[in-house]
Structure 1
Amino acid sequence: MMEPLVGRPTGDRGSLRDNIASCCSYSTLKKYLPILTWLPKYRLGWLKMDLIAGLTVGLTAVPQALAYAEVAGLPVQYGLYSAFMGCFIYCVFGTSKDVTLGPTAIMSLLCSFYIEGDPIYAVLLTFLCGIIQAGMAILRLGFLLDFISYPVIKGFTCAAAVTIGFGQVKNILGLKNIPHQFFLQVYYVFHGIPEARVGDVILGLSCLLVLVMLTWMKSHLEPIPPDPPTHVHAARGLVWSVATIRNALVVIAATVFAYSLEVSGYHFLTLTGRTTDGLPPFRPPPFSERTDNGTVISFSEIVMDVGGGLIVIPLMGVLESIAIAKAFASKNDYRIDANQELFAIGLTNIMGSFVSAYPVTGSFGRTAVNSQTGVCTPAGGIVTGVIVLLSLAFLMPLFYYIPKASLAAVIICAVTPMIDYRVVKELWRVRRLDLLPFLVTFLVSFWEVQYGIVGGIILSGFMLLYLLARPKLKVTDHGVLVMELDSGLNFPASEYICHHIYTQALQVSPPRCVVLDCHHVCGIDCTVVNQLRDLLRQFKLQNVSLVFVGLKHSVLDVLLAADLPGLKHTDSVEAGLQILSSNTHYD
């Protein structure tokens, strides 16, 4: 008979109602919508600083976006298509006040290997990267980034900087039809030097000189003394402002110069050329492509062509952005939520694919400018996004006259600080073995970037496994042998440790008793238990004892449950020595 509903306990309903209420609470909303944390407390004084920071970053973002599209092998307007969505999305979902999302040199280089200059591939890759990154955030998989070690990251960034920087030499020289593969690129650039265009060389080197001088001036500005004279304060502010927006100033000056030459009938410079006017249409990303000869490339074929890019690009995008966010959070005394950052990047890429963007991440250079300008909240990104949109709406016809040599100079100056030669000295001083994954990543990345990253990760993984499988065993003689494990005891290390104990204690004459210090052992498994069972039997056959010291409760419970014959254990080395010296049984 069916049980009547009346009188049935309502505890489950109440619990469900409480869970729903908790999920919809204001504190939960603040966790997933960080804008609710700072917007209610927004002060008018912050508005001025956010406007200045947003304007400054915007003037930096526009020329960089144009230049990075060139690195990705796409028409320059795709750099701007990629530069504004992150400004608005991150304002709502980001947890760092300083970070700005957009195209970067490293992401552009990575994309160039997988999209081969095809905008449809680029846009679909953006959508898929966003799905993967948002899925990782929802599943809380940000910990996977911890398996990419510091030497691998530095090896990759140094190699990427060299690859990107040298890849722009062809534009400084005005050369065309240079292969993308690094070693071929080096050969054909040097082979084509006699064919260099004088106008591009002079303009490119002039832009480099100006950018280097302005960078040097900014880095050597003296701190402002207390109560400085007005003219000193104004002069310092002028130098700082000019140096900060140096990329925009150089590109504008080069464009005006190129335009004046073109209207005068002199064609000395290689120009960016025709670009698509206006804002990009808002539409879903394409899931197939029709080629010029009518052949349709299906979604599955595009995914197969992109291949490893669906792993490398999402992971490196997240790694770059979160590393930047953590660095500036530490510098400016606030905390970020790594999984929320991951979600913000993923959502930016998903929505960016609807406006023809290619994959983006956090930009170190623009984030530094944002922080140095004194941004107070993520609202500064809205100003940056508006500047990019205005550039798309009104300035696209003028971008036709931007010389490629000036954009190349901007890229070279942007990536040069990433070549950190000091990391070699640091790794040599701290742990020389870490030079191996660094060098493998660095050198292999010149062949294929993704292979360099994978090679470095695999080598780092083998080094980590080796440490797990070969822990150090410190041996001292107190009449009996005292052996101290310097790390945990896992199944890869069980055979190695038991063999060492057997060799040093039982293969000598006469056999020796052993006190095994296990203070660092946090857990054991079935393989270790069986190895210890055999070792204890060997000790019993030789009429000597093995005493375990400092076993944690969880480890001791496992050993007791395994019912090991002859198991002796105590809390301290001194107590273990006393047990063996008095030749008493301890249980």
Structure 2
Amino acid sequence: MGHPVADESGKNDSDILSVPSGRIEVDVRPSVHKIGIPPRQKLTKEFSERFKETFFHDDPLRPFKDQPKSKKLVLGIRALFPVFDWGRYYSLNKLKGDVIAGLTIASLCIPQDIGYARLANLDPQYGLYSSFVPPLIYAIMGSSRDIAIGPVAVVSLLLGTLLQDEIDPKNKAEYLSLAFTATFFAGVTQAVLGFLRLGFLIDFLSHAAIVGFMGGAAITISLQQLKGFLGIAKFTKKTDIIHVMESVFKSVHHGWNWQTMLIGSAFLAFLLFTKYIGNRKKSLFWVPAIAPLISVILSTFFVYITRADKQGVQIVKKIEKRINPSSVHKIHFSGSEAMKGLRIGAVAGMIALTEAVAIGRTFAAMKDYQIDGNKEMVALGVMNVIGSMTSCYIATGSFSRSAVNYMAGCQTTISNIVMSLVVMLTLLVITPLFKYTPNAILASIIINAVIGLIDYDAAILIWKIDKLDFIACMGAFLGVVFYSVEIGLLISVVISFAKILLQVTRPRTAILGNLPRTTIYRNIDQYPEATKVPGVLVVRVDSAIYFSNSNYVRERILRWLEDEEEQIKSNDLPGIQYLIVELSPVTDIDTSGIHALEELFKSLQKREIQLVLANPGNTVMDKLILSKFTEMIGQDKIFLTVGEAVLTCAPKALEEA
């Protein structure tokens, strides 16, 4: 509106005067700008913009604008099936990298899948089934180039724990039916979240809570492997550390098998050594990747030639030699079993979704490309829905396999197809050879795999940065270790929400002071050189003002005022004449917040103190005008900056300061 351009100190070009001596002098009386009044928007436009920013902030329809119908159809197919997009530029050079990566992760996934199926209380072949069909679906619909799909330890344990609370795993037919039902509803949950663009819901599970949950799950999974590692026949169904250790020590004299312990210990040491080699030299990443398969082959051969199974060494026994049979008829689509499956599937599906999206984002950032979180959810959901109909249980992104996939030089999701084909050949040809595989080796492989889920460095960093986050982290960890996986998950969610509520209901406020020789006002605790202006109290509110915190904000400002007046009386200084509230951090305000400001204004009137507002944002200013609060305090009591407010209200006091 024709005002001079101001710098960040509040001065503008007209404040700088040239003098004959050639020096530059500065006039410390900057012009006062009028506070901007936002234009009124139509209700429909305001609602549509808010809706778009909430659910369609990435503007997914942008590529379709101004395109002919035929082009829109092609773009729609590419959006739903990314393979038709990147597939146009695929080359033999990329195929080489994908084949090597696919073969590498296949050697890792086969022994892991057999072990993870046991965590879910399922027969070994179901783990292999889940690394055959789901990766094929994801390769067509997924947008992450690096993620490796299949069963994972945490989801397998969670699914197995939730299922056995409903049905005894010994009742195989009903247990398997509920497992497929839960997988179906897990996929539906994931697909619906993606289709409705509700992916932001998974962000409510904080990073700290995930760190604690994963660490606790790693401990719990490792403890569960003591059954196979020690050769214990009778083992508790509980997952908490107390019941597990009680079960272990009760069987110490008659339940442990020394041959099993020897096999498990020897190969666990081998696996840990190969992991150490891989960590020391990244170019040898393939050593720990193929170590599990080598361990399975060697241990199986050893048990076969020595017939150690007749000496008490527990073995896998039979794995069906076939590819995925149909399981549509085993899924419950209605009734009480369907409701159980829905509840279990929704919980397990959300955890699987959180892990997959986190992995996808991590590797996308490393390779500098973007993934669409909502599209990922749809892809994972469709993958699990189809998987549930082909004898698979919940599959998701595996961090260990994805890391190997990345280091092996994968270029696209073709590596998942290569891995899937290897698993198919295994199911058709090799599965009879796993008959003599000892359970101890599977326990060693799982222990070796989940150790990496315990992130000590992240926990230490969380402690240093945010103590409330650390409480959420430890709450999740202790809940999983000492009670159960689902209770640990519940604790982590509750603490995360409690932290959000605490921050919303008790926002930070600060007293601001003037930085010498400037018109800048900053927190006096952060900037000790900042000085208070006599007769003026400047308070900043660092949050939106809603019904949940409006009374607290009003009471906190009044407490600041009372404390300041006590100090003034004790030092025999001039009383407070102006209370300036800095509103720049206040992004929004509701009717309760405006009512709190009105009450604050009336309280200050009784004390003969004037209320002044500084830099209200567009949304806040609009609501202050609509509520006629601006008329109550006067339009001349609203300023662009704190500096202008002080200069206008108390210029002499500023000069004295």
Aligned equivalent of 1:11: none
Aligned equivalent of 1:129: 186
Deviation at 1:287, TM superposition (A): 3.3
Deviation at 1:180, TM superposition (A): 2.5
Alignment of 1:209-220 (within 5 A): 209-220=269-280
Separation in 2, partners of 1:242, 1:454: 38
Aligned equivalent of 1:566: 633
Q: What does the per-residue CA deviation read over 1:403-422, in whole Å, with 9 as the maximum and x for residues that have no partner?
A: 10011110010001111222
Q: Does 1:523 align with 2:588?
A: yes
Deviation at 1:18, TM superposition (A): 8.2
Query: Identity over the aligned pairs, expressed in percent?
Result: 29
Separation in 1, partners of 2:505, 2:327: 53
* Aligned pair partner of 2:613 in 539, 543, 548: 548
Q: Does 1:206 align with 2:242?
A: no
* Aligned pair partner of 1:187 in 242, 246, 250: 246
Deviation at 1:553, TM superposition (A): 2.7
Aligned equivalent of 2:204: 147
* Aligned pair partner of 1:47 in 89, 95, 110: 95
Separation in 2, partners of 1:495, 1:66: 58
Q: What does the per-residue CA deviation read over 1:118-160, in whole Å, with 9 as the maximum and x for residues that have no partner?
A: 2111111111111111111110011101111011000100000
Q: Does 1:276 align with 2:320?
A: yes
Q: Does 1:390 align with 2:400?
A: no
Aligned equivalent of 1:60: 108
CA shift in 2, pair 1:559/1:113, >3 Å: same
The question of whether the paired residues in 2 share the 8 Å contact of 1:473 and 1:483 is answered with yes
CA shift in 2, pair 1:240/1:366, >3 Å: closer
Separation in 2, partners of 1:265, 1:570: 84
Alignment of 1:89-100 (within 5 A): 89-100=137-148
Q: Does 1:28 align with 2:95?
A: no
CA shift in 2, pair 1:123/1:527, >3 Å: same
Deviation at 1:326, TM superposition (A): 0.8
Deviation at 1:511, TM superposition (A): 5.7
Separation in 2, partners of 1:360, 1:415: 17
Equivalent pairs counted in the alignment come to 543
Separation in 1, partners of 2:229, 2:618: 67
The question of whether the paired residues in 2 share the 8 Å contact of 1:164 and 1:415 is answered with yes
Separation in 2, partners of 1:22, 1:528: 51
* Aligned pair partner of 1:253 in 293, 298, 306: 298
The question of whether the paired residues in 1 share the 8 Å contact of 2:577 and 2:608 is answered with no
Letter in 1 for 2:107: L
Deviation at 1:285, TM superposition (A): 4.8
Deviation at 1:163, TM superposition (A): 0.4
The CA RMSD over aligned residues, in Å, is: 2.3
Q: What does the per-residue CA deviation read over 1:1-47, in whole Å, with 9 as the maximum and x for residues that have no partner?
A: xxxxxxxxxxxxxxx99899278432232222110121111111122
* Aligned pair partner of 1:498 in 535, 539, 554: 554
Letter in 2 for 1:52: I
Aligned equivalent of 2:335: 300
Name whichever of 564-573 and 102-111 sits farther off.
564-573
Aligned equivalent of 1:360: 395
Separation in 1, partners of 2:340, 2:417: 36
Separation in 1, partners of 2:148, 2:309: 41
Separation in 2, partners of 1:154, 1:240: 24
The question of whether the paired residues in 1 share the 8 Å contact of 2:132 and 2:424 is answered with yes
The question of whether the paired residues in 1 share the 8 Å contact of 2:101 and 2:409 is answered with yes
The question of whether the paired residues in 2 share the 8 Å contact of 1:82 and 1:359 is answered with yes
- Residue 475 of structure 1 aligns to a residue whose secondary structure is strand
CA shift in 2, pair 1:270/1:334, >3 Å: same
Alignment of 1:390-539 (within 5 A): 390-446=425-481, 447-476=483-512, 477-479=532-534, 480-505=536-561, 508=565, 512-539=577-604
Separation in 1, partners of 2:132, 2:216: 28
Separation in 1, partners of 2:329, 2:362: 33
Deviation at 1:65, TM superposition (A): 0.5
Deviation at 1:490, TM superposition (A): 2.5
Name whichever of 30-39 and 498-507 sits farther off.
498-507
The question of whether the paired residues in 1 share the 8 Å contact of 2:537 and 2:576 is answered with no
The question of whether the paired residues in 1 share the 8 Å contact of 2:213 and 2:488 is answered with yes
The question of whether the paired residues in 1 share the 8 Å contact of 2:476 and 2:488 is answered with yes
* Aligned pair partner of 2:411 in 376, 380, 403: 376
Separation in 1, partners of 2:309, 2:464: 59
**TM-score under structure 2 normalisation?**
0.79
CA shift in 2, pair 1:171/1:283, >3 Å: closer
Deviation at 1:379, TM superposition (A): 0.9
Aligned equivalent of 2:157: 109
CA shift in 2, pair 1:337/1:307, >3 Å: closer
Separation in 2, partners of 1:427, 1:18: 48
Letter in 2 for 1:519: S
The question of whether the paired residues in 2 share the 8 Å contact of 1:172 and 1:404 is answered with yes
Separation in 1, partners of 2:70, 2:624: 43
CA shift in 2, pair 1:512/1:22, >3 Å: farther
Separation in 1, partners of 2:612, 2:189: 51
Letter in 2 for 1:213: F
The question of whether the paired residues in 2 share the 8 Å contact of 1:123 and 1:285 is answered with no
- Residue 376 of structure 1 aligns to a residue whose secondary structure is coil
Separation in 2, partners of 1:512, 1:457: 46
**Which structure's relative contact order is higher, taking Cα pairs within 8 Å and 6+ residues apart?**
1
Separation in 2, partners of 1:399, 1:475: 70
The question of whether the paired residues in 2 share the 8 Å contact of 1:285 and 1:356 is answered with no
Deviation at 1:433, TM superposition (A): 2.5
The question of whether the paired residues in 2 share the 8 Å contact of 1:540 and 1:566 is answered with no
The question of whether the paired residues in 1 share the 8 Å contact of 2:359 and 2:399 is answered with yes
Deviation at 1:580, TM superposition (A): 2.5
The question of whether the paired residues in 1 share the 8 Å contact of 2:209 and 2:469 is answered with no
Deviation at 1:372, TM superposition (A): 0.9
Separation in 1, partners of 2:641, 2:102: 62
Deviation at 1:307, TM superposition (A): 6.5
Q: Does 1:244 align with 2:279?
A: no
CA shift in 2, pair 1:23/1:357, >3 Å: farther
Q: What does the per-residue CA deviation read over 1:216-262, in whole Å, with 9 as the maximum and x for residues that have no partner?
A: 22222376xxxxxxxxxxxxxxx654432111110011111112123
The question of whether the paired residues in 1 share the 8 Å contact of 2:178 and 2:331 is answered with no
Separation in 1, partners of 2:112, 2:557: 62
Gapped runs of 5+ residues in structure 1?
1-15, 224-238, 289-297
Separation in 1, partners of 2:511, 2:404: 55
- Residue 25 of structure 1 aligns to a residue whose secondary structure is helix
Aligned equivalent of 1:71: 119
Deviation at 1:186, TM superposition (A): 1.6
- Residue 516 of structure 1 aligns to a residue whose secondary structure is strand
Q: Does 1:175 align with 2:232?
A: yes
The question of whether the paired residues in 2 share the 8 Å contact of 1:506 and 1:512 is answered with no
Separation in 2, partners of 1:286, 1:440: 38
Alignment of 1:300-379 (within 5 A): 300-306=335-341, 308-379=343-414
